[in-house]
Structure 1
């Protein structure tokens, strides 16, 4: 039980922890097993405080194991709850050790984060611990990106909420439940290739007043690629012709094969080509 030792269990509780792991393997602590643990504690002359520290170290080691892959399954949470109850803790200890384990893992991963490049066009960087959601996308590409997101310390969620950092989509169907929720919550929407860049340069979790260069520097002048980092509300203009749609795809912007285009997409096309959009969706050259 070296992992429990690393989490605060006293060094003289090794034998006790080995027995504890054995008797809790099935998630149940019988009266006989409890008596055996108490007897072993007396044999090693363990104080009440040392036993308590051993129990907490044991739970924290389980919590570290549970969050290694970036998510805690129902079975893992159930195992933690059962172990906590068996050794006399209240259910609240489970949240405490999971939060502590997540914080430690985030700090460890944060040490390996790459600095943002000088030319960074994707707005606020993603940070370890933030939630991301996916909709659409090629299945293999999506699985690969989800795996990378979890490996870099991001949380992959099954829905979009106010706390979701980004929604990743290829834009083929802009009216999925997640896409509509993202527009409602003004969640950033990015294309898969942009998300891959965001994950590659994921930044440490925020602590206190920590701010990245991207957050303290003046906002960059909009470019044809910048809107990829933020697509929110949907335009009320009629759908423009295929020119804008083709341009958006070529520049990595999420766009559907039909239906209305996002306001930001239309504006980005106009800015890139120095054009004004008229209400019919046609383009007119801006006067010099």
Structure 2
């Protein structure tokens, strides 16, 4: 369902730049495959009572690919591809691909050998998180500097767009920090064997739920949508509401207009439009 909602969110905006959203569609697709493999393994185990080794390996591989795709998407978002810049350099793409590949390998070996390569996995995990937070901080500083320059020029539309991107990166940072804190709390509970014995499945469910919540929250923040433009002032909101309800608009005040071009009707033009002046007489006066 989540994969379908994500594809529908960008399919409605084909006229926009949605190549980022098309690329991120691989994350829910891989998750669907991972859940299908896990369901098949569970059905087989319930029917035979025996773990199929090859199916268990495939299940771990599919789960590792999903986690690798999830963190690779976080790296791409943090780098600002199709958000603050149109393309990335070859070295940056190489870093992204290697980081995602190493995370898949580390997660696969860690789960396959039941925590034997824990230190390798935690090292790769920390390196990727450092890359994500460093890229987010860099883009936030860049956008803040750009907002200051745009504000000096009085470009309200561009400033609103930059504010929206800054809000997106703040939400990304908050989602990652919350995810990490919950993961640490879960590991502490596992250390004290809170979910041991017959309750071991709770740990797996919580892990999958955290990944899904992280993917859903980040996807909602970076979803495809039309730009809302600069925030309207209180006077303009009241005017639009009054016009929608059929009431007369309030009189114009001294507030600065938000349009790039302002058309002013000369009093003579209004009199001409009402037929109170002779056009020939006006033209004669202008010719003098």
TM-score by shorter chain over 0.5: no
After TM superposition, the score normalised by the length of structure 2 is: 0.23
Report 1 or 2 for greater relative contact order, CA contacts < 8 Å, sequence distance ≥ 6.
2
What TM-score results when the alignment is normalised by the length of structure 1?
0.23
| Larger Rg, first or second structure (1 or 2) | 2
Q: Which has the higher strand share?
A: 1
More helix by share: 2
